[in-house]
Structures are given as C-alpha cells and as structure tokens.
Amino acid sequence: MAQLDTREKLAILADAAKYDASCASSGTAKRSSRDGKGLGSTDGGMGICHAYAPDGRCISLLKILLTNSCIFDCHYCINRKSSNVRRARFTVDEVVQLTLAFYRRNYIEGLFLSSGIIRSSDYTMEQIVEVARRLREDHQFRGYIHLKTIPDADPELVHQAGLYADRLSINVELPTASGLKRLAPEKSGVRIEGAMGDLKGAIEDGQDARKHYRSAPKFAPAGQSTQMIVGADSANDAEIIGSASRLYDQFRLRRVYYSAFSPIPDASTILPLKRPPLIREHRLYQSDWMMRFYGFAAHEVTAAAGDDGMLPLDMDPKLAWALKFRGVFPVDINRAPKEMLLRVPGLGTKAVAAILSSRRTHALRLGDVARLAVSLKKIRPFIVAADWRPVALADCVFPLLEAKSTAQLELFAA
Amino acid sequence: MRVATIATQDDFDGWRLEARELACAGVPAGEVTWRVGDEFGDLLASAGGAAPAVAGVMPFSVPRPFLDLARAAIRHSDPERFGLLYSMLLRLRAMPLLIQDQTDPLLRRIEAMAKEVRRDIHKMRAFLRFREVGEGEQRGFVAWFEPTHHIVRANAAFFIDRFASMRWSILTPELSLHWDGETLREAPGAQRADAPDGDPLEETWKTYYASIFNPARVKIGAMLKEMPRKYWKNMPETALVSSLIAGAQARESAMVATSRENLGGNVAGSWEALREEAMGCTRCPLYKDATQTVFGEGPLDARLMFVGEQPGDQEDIAGKPFIGPAGQMFDRALAQAGLDRARSYVTNAVKHFKYEQRGKRRIHSKPNAGEIQACRWWYGQERELIRPAVTVALGATAARQMLGKAVTISGARGIAHRLEDGSEGWATIHPSFLLRIHERDEADAEFGRFVEDLKRVKDRLTALA
Ligand code: SF4
C-alpha cells in the first residue's frame, strides 16, 4: 500500500472521529503563555468554538483518532475489525505538529485524541499519552487536551494521561447493559464503569493533594465525561435519563454526551439504518439541562415522558413536565421562589435572575416579563403577574398543545 | 449645549471623567453632545495619561455593576451610547436601586448593547484566522478581522496570553495591533489588501473541516445561528459550506446503500442477540405481569412476515408465538391457502401478554397506543433483519403497528399498502376473531374470506419474486 500523506490521513482519521459527540473545551484551569516560552492559553471558562460545521456542531478541538484500526468488532462502530473502511495511522509526531500548526493559526483550542485499539490496550494508551507528553513537555503547549482513555489500560498509564490532559473520558457506549452486550460483545460494562470509578478516585485525590500542596500537579482539571449512543439499542428516554443521572452521581461526571446513532458506511446488520433521530438527541440534551440548571430530579424529568418512556418530540421536556403537573401552576412571578420560577416553561436562568432582581424594586407586570424573556406567549399560561391571571386560558391552551404531540411516529420514519 | 470629548471610540476612562464632571455640574443629558477625537495621533498619546484635573468635582459613587456594564457597552458601535450611558448615570445617581430593575427600558437597552459587544469579542477570538508569513527569524502571523464593534483593544490581552511566543499582527479597519514577542504596539487601521491572502496550511485545515462534518446530520440553522455569514469572508473553511451541504444527501444515501449491500453475513447472530436483548425489555409496563417476552420466530430469509396482535395465555407460558387456539386456526387457514408457515416469519405487534385476572383465568386485554408504540422498536429491528417482501398484519393492533397509524380492518383489508421500506403490506383479520363467532355458517364464511386473503398474499409473493 502506498504511503498516505498527512492530509490523506487527516481525512480518514477525522472522518472516523466525527461520530463522537463530545467537543467542548470547557471548565479547565486557567493558563497562559505570557511567559513567552510556550504556546496557548485556556481561560478557565467556557472554551471557544472556532467554527461550526453544516451539521450545526461546533469545532473547538482538533478531534481525530490516532488510528482507525481496531482489534475489536463493535457493531455500532465504523472502525470495527470487520469493517471495510480505509485504514490509516498517524505517527505521534504528526499529531503533535498538526495540533501546533492549527493552534498557531487560531483554528482550534486544542486536541481531542482518541484511537482504535491496536496491538493491546496498553500499547494504544501509551501512544496516546506520548502525544500529550510531547505537546506539554517538549513544546510547552498550554491549550486544551482531551484524551479518550482505554478502559483496560494499565492504571499507571491512565494516571499519566491525567497529568497531561485537561479532560479524560471513557465512553459508556450504550445506555443499557443488554445493548452493550449485543452491539459490543467484547466490551464489558463492568470494566468501563470500573475504569470510570478509578478516574473519579484519581481526580478527587488530585484535588485533595492540591488543597495541601499548591504545587501538586493538576490531574484532569476539567474532570471526566462520557458519551452514549442513542437509538441503536432499545433503551427509551426514561432509561437513558436514568442511567445518565446515575453516572453523574456515581462518577461525578462533568458531562454526559448523547450521540444519535448515525447510519454508517459498512454497518453491521444489527444496526438500524435509519436517519439519526436528531430531535430525540436534542430533547435528551434539554432534559440534561433540566437536571443541571433547573433543579429537576431525574425522576421528575422522566415523569414528563409518555407511557412508552419517550419524551415528546414536538415540545421541550420542561413544557411537557409543566403540562403533566399543571397543578403547580400558575406561578406568581412576584412571589414564587427561584426554584419555582426555574420550572416555568420559557424562563431560562438569565430571565429568572432578572426577575428576582427586578421584583425587589416593584411588582412586575406582564409587560415587564415580556422584556425579560424570549417569548411571552409560551410563558403566559403558566404565570401570574401584577396585572395578569391566566384563568380560563389554561384550559384552552393545554389541549391545543397536547393535540400536537402525536407526531412522534412519523419523525422516526426512515 | 456642552460638548464632551473623549479620545477614542472605546475610551471608557475618558467618558467616565467627563460624565462625572457633567453630573456634578448638574448638566442634563439632553444638553450634552458627545464627540470622539477622530484621529489617533496626539489624542491617543494623551489618553490614559494623567487625568485632567477637575476642580471642585466631588466624587460620587454608582453601583459597581453599572461600571462593568458601561465598560462593555461603550465599545458598541451605536453613536448614541455615550449619551445613553450618561442618562443612566444621572438616574442611578438619584436612585441607585434602579440598577436592580432589569425591566427598565433604558437599562435593558444598555444591557443589550453590552451583550452584543461581548458576543463580538467572543467571535473575534473564535473566528480570527492567522496566516503565516516569513521564515526562520522573520516568521510571523498576520490576521485580518472586521469587528462590528470597537473591541480590538479589549481583545489584545487575550491574544497576548495565547500567542505570547509568536510574532503577530492583527489588522482591522479601525485599529491594528502588532506584537513582537515582548511589547504591543497600536497602529492605525489597515486595509484587507495589507494582510496576506492565504496560508499553505489552509488546504489541510479545510480537509479537516470537510471530514469532521457528518452528512447524516445537516442542521444549517444551527450553524448559521452561531457562525453568522458576516464573519465568513475571512474564514477559509466557510468556502466549503455550500458544497458540503449540497453533497450531504447523496453521501448519506450512499452510506445507507453500502451498508445494505455489505451485510457481512451476521444476520443470524444479530437476530439471536436481538432476541436475547428483547427478553429483558422494560420499555413499557407490560413486562411486569407477563411470564416472558414472546419474540418472533421463523427463517431469517423469509419473504413473508406475519404480524399478530400480542401473545395469549399459552404463548406467554411457552414463549412462542401463535401456538394456542388462534394459532391452530391460523395453521389450518395457511394450509388451505397453500402457504407454508415454516417458510414465514411470524411475530407479534406487542411482545408481552396483556391480561386481566378473572378468578383463575387470565383474560386477554388490548394493548393501548403507548404500548404498541413502545414495542415498535422491536418490530422495526425484526423488519430490518428479515426485510420481507410481503407483510401481513393480522387484526387492528397489528395493522396499526405495520402502518404506523390507527386503521380499521374493514377499511384496510383487501388492498396493498406501501410500507416505509418500500415493501408491500396487507391487512386481514386476526384468527382469534374466527373463534369468537358462534354461528356456524357465519364462522365458515369468515374463515373462507380469511383463506381468500391468504391466497391473495400467496399470489403477490409469486408475482413479486
Ligand atoms: S410489550 Fe414490548 S415494549 Fe412492552 S415491555 Fe414487552 S417487549 Fe417491551
């Protein structure tokens, strides 16, 4: 086989990485290269998306695989052993040089490196760690590094990875154990969760050490995250939200990413060949927001799902929840506590903060609320304001909203 | 009329000094004309220098959040901003609590300005593209950017933090920044032609951009929301957008087509695994009272698929579809129609037995829409594997599953339905219906009609072969 040049490899190894949903470069320690020796900075906050692809997803990191060859045969994965895709493999140096060159031109915030498993888990992990080591030590690179760790790899290697990386992740792959068994028979849920548990321990030890010695090295300051594929196994939304919330609690994850299963070239017959249910993925992210920012418990979010455990596709889950628990509405904009205001459909965290601040000076009228929120129409049936009470309206709005919710079937059609 | 002059478009300190002086002198907002010293030359040199001594001005305090807000809003391109901020300052001086009233229209307008400025600052950090110039000692990077607001100076520290060890210049129409590795120098605005046009690495970057895009997920609105077109002209990768979108549909179809062709011969394994997974299904509450999941059965290359309603009492215990009284009736009709059950795949619309307990007997009850919908996942997966040429729905529940909507058997019977995957579907009665007819003649007649339906299916199978 003819040697591929770096650009050809990049085409193959970025293509192979595009199914991974995680992209964020957020929440790490603040760093800069003011000392004039290194390259790069992180601002400790949200990270920067440097471009957007036509699929609406942001490009923040150079997201690639070290190689798309793999000794495993996971059915959901384009890189599985039995797939006919073209294979390529970067050298450690190629990844380092690409990262630096892209970074200097302000195309990216850093690197997100993952890999197919070649030879052995340890060998693969060593290569991943070596990329990060060279970036950090040889080139004093201070941008963001996210490494995908291999669950079976030697804990010592994972520990080294954590010293170089801002974030580490291990994908749980599928929301149900039975799905994992069917689609990735060589992977084990127990091992994956074991590795996530180890990481949690190491991250906490690192934080502890820094409380005592300020000079202790930072271990994965942006924490750990995971991804699960949605739509390739039988899990319904309620089950997915349940397992996400368990993962958040158990392993103190920063983020759970959802990736709608995508038809892939050369798929295994086990998989659905349908268009990915993008709306479903979106609804799951909204449910994640409900838990992370609006104070809903997992069981409350799943209560918004229908009998089949699925969140409605034609409205956001917060609205769905409100329609189910309409007894708690209307909420008085001028008196309700923050927690209740956060539950009003259409009110985000910023609007709620503005309401709380403003009502200290005067009683808010509907017109005031309109100035603070994106769309008053959505909010109106659920609130009481100084000049507003949604009496009969509630009864004529609710059935209307509900009648729309039968479209789910069609949206999943091929 | 008083004229207040500040040095530059983003001169917050200058505005603050002037505003304080005017406020102390009790000058109403309507009587001030704000002017920006138009050139950079001398005025720039004095800006940031010693503040002009203001005699007799008593310092007064305004709420801290207002200062932060004004610092951001003053960078907005709206020429009215200085006056608006001054009005706000006067009102706050009289009534400091006003800063909490987010419904105040003037405060909202200023907030909105500050927000646009912050966004522009962020977009400059995101969408500015450096191009490499020179080599060796002379190596440096130059970027051309056209901000909407007066944000360049505000962003200098960010680029120094990030690229301190590089030599770089950022050129914009209003102001240029030059960093030599140690000090920052400001210079007047530049023109696009002053910046280099391309960079050898841009082709590699475009390769990345095109490859990381998943054509099965086109979401143009989401892209435009975050990356408005006004920034596109200086970003090399955006030249690819229209061709990527245009080609997406074809690429997606090709992906699906190849995966259909290269089946990899693991249908049996997949089916086994699927069946096993279904045994643990909890997608709807029906699993709770039933004995087990009754999965479909039959050859995986069957051209004919039968979909029943749901397992009954005996099926639930045995774990096999269509073995009770209705199943026997079904077998008899198949035989008369000349169809071979052993060559068909037989499954149910809902895989768990739903019943009501009456004394010792479990009486079958109809699955509801939610349960049918929940179980659709398994039905869909079975169809993906079997891909029958003809599907026969037995009874209304099965027809609902097959067609994805509620229908009556009397309406759906006797016609070919085109299914989602392009194959053919037929609907007829469920054999248990025959068991419930007590009148002998009528039962025979209905049985005859059922057999007729099955014969027609047989003809279709032959015709489609
Ligand atoms: S009836 Fe279908 S969806 Fe409901 S639990 Fe049984 S197999 Fe799952």
Q: Phi then psi for A139, rounded to 5 degrees?
A: -115, 5
Indicate the helix (H) or strand (E) that contains B427. Answer: strand B424-428
How far does the centroid of ligand 1 lie from the alpha carbon of residue B294, in Å?
9
Residue A146, pLDDT > 60, answer yes
Phi and psi at residue A190, to the nearest 5°: -65, -45
Closest CA to B72 of B37, B118, B18: B118
CB contact under 8 A, B130 and A106: yes
- Residue having the nearest C-alpha atom to atom 6 of ligand 1: B352
Percent of chain B whose pLDDT exceeds 90: 73
Q: Looking at residue A1, what is its pLDDT? A: 46
C-beta atoms of A38 and B165 within 8 A: yes
Q: What angle do CA B138, B139, B143 make, to 5 degrees?
A: 120
Q: pLDDT tens, B174-218? A: 999 999 999 999 999 999 999 998 898 999 999 999 999 988 788
How many C-alpha atoms does B51 have within 13 Å on its Cβ side?
14
* CB contacts, 8 Å: B199 with chain A: 105
In the numeric block, the tokens 């990413």 are attached to A257
Nearest CA to ligand 1 atom 7: B351
Chain A residue numbers touching B129 (CB-CB < 8 A): 105-107
Specify the pLDDT at position B40. 45
Contact: A39, B166; criterion CB under 8 Å: yes
Residues of A with Cβ-Cβ distance to B401 under 8 angstroms: none
Separation of alpha carbons B16 and B106, rounded Å: 18
Phi, psi of B178 (to 5 degrees): -125, 125
Query: CA–CA distance from B252 to each of A235, B212, B241, B249 (Å)?
Result: 25, 14, 16, 5
State the pLDDT at residue B137.
83
Place of tokens 């709206």: B78
pLDDT at A392 over 70: no
The average confidence (pLDDT) of chain B is 89
Q: How far is A3 from chain B (nearest CA, A)?
A: 17
DSSP state of B103: T
**3-class DSSP state for residue A241?**
helix
Compare CB distances from A273 to B127, B260, B373 and report the shortest one's residue. B260
Q: Residue A226 in 3-state DSSP?
A: strand
Ligand 1 centre and the CA of B386: distance in Å?
20
Selected for mutation to probe chain A from B91, B97, B102, B199 (highest A CB count within 10 Å) is B102
Q: In this structure, are strands A110-114 and A144-148 parallel, antiparallel, or unpaired?
A: parallel
pLDDT at B344: 96
* B397 CA → ligand 1 middle, Å: 14
Interatomic CA distance for residues B389 and B413, integer angstroms: 18
Question: Which residues fall within 8 angstroms of residue B445, CB to CB, at 6 or more apart?
Answer: none
Q: Name which of B125, B201, B371 is nearest A101 (Cβ-Cβ).
A: B201
What is the CB-side half-sphere exposure of residue B455 using CA atoms within 13 A? Answer: 8
Indicate if the pLDDT at residue A398 is higher than 90. no
Question: Strand, coil or helix: what is A63?
Answer: strand
Q: Which atom of ligand 1 is nearest to the CA of A308?
A: 3
Contact state of A182 with B274 under an 8 Å Cβ cutoff: yes
* Rounded CA Rg of chain B: 38
The tokens for B3 are 């004229």
For residue B374, pLDDT over 60 is answered with yes
Whether B283 sits inside 8 A of A48 (CB atoms) is no
C-alpha dist (Å) from residue B148 to A68, B74, B78, B117, B177: 42, 13, 10, 8, 17
Task: From chain A, pick out residues whose CB is under 8 angstroms from the CB of B405.
Answer: 409
Other C-beta atoms closer than 10 Å to the C-beta of B110 total 23
How many angstroms away from the CA of A264 is the closest CA of chain B?
6
Count of CA atoms in the C-beta half-sphere (13 A) of A317:
31
Is B136 a residue whose pLDDT tops 90? no
Closest CA to B409 of B378, B373, B371, B453: B453
Strands B184-188 and B175-179: antiparallel
Q: Which of A284-298, A333-347, A389-403, B264-278 has the lowest mean pLDDT?
A: A389-403
Calculate the CA A322 to chain-centre distance: 25
pLDDT tens profile A223-244:
999 999 888 888 889 989 999 9
Residue A402 is predicted with a pLDDT of 47
**pLDDT band, very low/low/confident/very high, at B255 (cuts 50, 70, 90):** low
Interacting residues of B198 by C-beta distance below 8 A, sequence separation 6+ = B131, B236
Nearest CA in chain A to B242: A54
Task: Please check whether residue B103 is in contact with residue A360, taking contact to mean a CB–CB distance below 8 angstroms.
Answer: no
Q: Is the pLDDT of residue A409 over 60?
A: no
Q: From the candidates B119, B158, B184, B211, which should be mutated to test the interface with A, based on the most A CB atoms within 10 A?
A: B211
The amino acid at B205: W
Tokens 């149900």 found at? A176
CA A158 to chain B, closest CA, distance in angstroms equals: 27
The single-letter code of the amino acid at A44 is: G
pLDDT of residue A162: 94
Contact at 8 Å (CB) between A265 and B255?
A: yes
* A35 contacts in chain B (CB < 8 Å): 164
Nearest to B381 by CA among A174, A232, A238: A232
Give distance in angstroms: CA of A369 to centre of ligand 1.
45
Confidence of residue B9 (pLDDT cuts 50, 70, 90): very high
Interface test with A, best of B115, B129, B139, B277 (most A CBs within 10 A): B277
- What per-residue confidence (pLDDT) applies to A275? 57
Query: What would the pLDDT profile of A147-168 be if each residue is shown by its tens digit?
Result: 999 988 999 999 999 999 999 9
Condensed to tens digits (0 to 9), the pLDDT of residues A40-82 reads 999 877 889 999 999 888 999 999 999 999 988 887 777 888 7
Structure confidence by residue, pLDDT tens digits, A94-129: 999 999 999 999 999 999 999 999 999 999 999 999
User: Do residue A102 and residue B208 have CB atoms under 8 angstroms apart?
Assistant: yes
Which residue puts its alpha carbon closest to atom 2 of ligand 1? B375
| A39, A33 Cβ separation under 8 angstroms | yes
d(CA B12, CA B36): 11
pLDDT at position A274: 56
Does the beta-carbon distance from B263 to A269 stay under 8 Å? yes
Calculate how far, in angstroms, residue B284's C-alpha sits from the geometric centre of ligand 1: 5
| Half-sphere CA count of B300, side-chain side, radius 13 A | 16
> Which residue(s) pair with B424 in the sheet?
B390, B418
Q: List all residues whose CB is within 6 A of at least one atom of ligand 1.
A: B 278, 281-284, 286-287, 293, 350-352, 371, 374-375, 378
The three-point CA angle A409-A245-A206 to 5° equals 145
Count Cβ neighbours within 10 Å for each residue of B25-47 and write b for 16 or more, e otherwise.
eebebeebebebbeebeebbeee
pTM greater than 0.80 (yes/no): yes
Two structure tokens written together for A399? 């059935």
Which stretch of DSSP H or E encloses residue B168? strand B168-171
How close is the nearest chain B Cα to the Cα of A19, in Å?
8
ipTM confidence score? 0.89
What Rg value do the Cα atoms of chain A yield, rounded? 24
Of A43-52, B64-73, B114-123, the range with the lowest mean pLDDT is A43-52
On chain A, the residues whose CB falls within 8 A of the CB of B98 are 361
Question: Is the pLDDT reported for residue A283 higher than 60?
Answer: yes
Percent of chain B with pLDDT over 70: 92
pLDDT at A24 over 60: yes
Predicted confidence at residue A276, as pLDDT, reads 53
Measure CB to CB from residue A18 to each of B164, B212, B284 and give the nearest one: B212
Position B17 pLDDT exceeds 90: yes
Place of tokens 């009790």: B26
Instruction: Check CB contact under 8 Å for B101 and A48.
Output: no
Q: Which of A54, A107, A361 sits opposite B205 (nearest CB)?
A: A107
Rounded to the nearest angstrom, the distance between the alpha carbon of B396 and the centre of ligand 1 is 18
- The Cα A202–Cα A208 span in angstroms is 10
- Does the bond joining A330 to the residue before it have cis omega, within 30 degrees of 0? yes
Q: Is residue B143 scored above 50 in pLDDT? A: yes
- The pLDDT of residue B263 is 47
CB contact under 8 A, B125 and A55: no
Question: What distance in Å separates residue A155's CA from the closest CA in chain B?
Answer: 31
Evaluate whether A14 touches B212 at the Cβ level (below 8 Å). Answer: yes
Specify whether the CB–CB gap between B164 and B111 falls below 8 A.
no
For residue A390, give the nearest of A399, A378, A381 by alpha carbon. Answer: A381
Highest mean pLDDT among A139-153, A230-244, A270-284: A139-153
CA of B310 to the centre of ligand 1 (A): 10
| Dist. CA A39–CA B409, nearest whole Å | 71
Is residue B259 over pLDDT 60?
no
Per-chain mean pLDDT for chain A: 86
Give the DSSP H or E segment for B140. strand B140-144
pLDDT digits (tens, 9 = 90+) for B293-315: 999 999 988 999 999 999 999 99
CB atoms within 10 A of CB B229: 9
Give A59's contacts in chain B (Cβ within 8 Å).
209, 212
In this structure, are residues A26 and A46 in contact, taking their beta carbons and an 8 Å threshold? yes
Q: List, for residues B406-446, the tens digit of each pLDDT value.
A: 999 999 999 999 998 889 999 999 999 999 999 999 999 99
Helix (H) or strand (E) holding B363: strand B361-364
Q: How many Cβ pairs within 8 Å bridge chains A and B? A: 268
Cβ neighbours for A214, distance < 8 A, ≥ 6 positions apart = none
Give A233's contacts in chain B (Cβ within 8 Å): 277
The band of B349, judged by pLDDT with boundaries at 50, 70 and 90, is very high
Q: Could you tell me which residues come within 8 angstroms of residue A380 by beta carbon, excluding any fewer than 6 positions away?
A: A366, A388, A390, A393
Predicted local distance difference test score (pLDDT) of residue A41 = 92
Cβ separation B374–A309 shorter than 8 A:
yes
Would you say B391 and B402 are in contact if contact means Cβ atoms under 8 Å apart? yes
Phi/psi for A145 (5° steps) reads -130, 125
